[in-house]
Amino acid sequence: MLAVFAVNLVMAATSIGKTPAASAPSVITNTKVIADDGIAISPEQAADPEQLKKLVPTTLAEAEASILPVRRRFLMWTYDGVHILWGTFGNGRFVGMDNLGKQCWGIYGRGVFAGFYDGQFFWGRYINGAWKAQYLFALAYSNGRYMTFPLAIPTVASKIP
């Protein structure tokens, strides 16, 4: 039942080796791919988990502060429905919590994501609402689906607390 409501964390890859379609305009400068989401990941970094690890904020608080001012929500889950992760993302960074109460934070961009789950490094690829990862959820390998939610846009009739 929870999988039906599962979220899309910007992590989906039907095949780890496939190149993701560009979802946002980007600029290529000196082999760096600078996406509009605020994170720069070169093709070399995307292929090397150790280089990705260097780009990830070292703490949850640092990642949380980097998301501002634009925040969107995501939900992601494994295909078996055992692991569900929800949180916020923006500016090339994300933070979240799973159904076991463990925290997660990291970076994303150009079809690659990396971060820390319960203090342990993980990385993976995403495309078209699907993702594959190594060491996420403390598993050697995991995959699943994700979904993102649009920004909340206040209207005249909206009540602001």
pTM above 0.85, yes or no: no
The DSSP element (H or E) to which 62 belongs, if any, is helix 60-67
Q: Which two tokens stand for residue 120?
A: 């342990």
Q: Which two tokens stand for residue 132?
A: 């594959």
CA-based nearest residue to 131, from 5, 19, 11: 11
The predicted-structure confidence for 44-57, as pLDDT tens digits, reads as follows: 777 788 888 888 88
Q: Does a structural domain hold residue 159?
A: no
Total number of domains in the chain: 1
Q: Does a structural domain hold residue 91?
A: yes
* Residue count of the chain: 161
Predicted confidence band at 26 (pLDDT cuts at 50, 70, 90)? Answer: very low
The predicted-structure confidence for 105-158, as pLDDT tens digits, reads as follows: 999 998 999 999 999 999 999 999 999 999 999 999 999 999 999 876 666 665
Q: Does a structural domain hold residue 155?
A: no
- Paired with 133 in beta bridges are 124, 142
**The domain containing residue 77 runs over which residues?**
2-149
Q: Does a structural domain hold residue 133?
A: yes
More confident residue, 44 or 33: 44
Predicted confidence band at 30 (pLDDT cuts at 50, 70, 90)? Answer: very low
Q: How many CB atoms lie within 10 A of CB 88?
A: 18
Q: Does a structural domain hold residue 96?
A: yes
- Paired with 73 in beta bridges are 88, 149
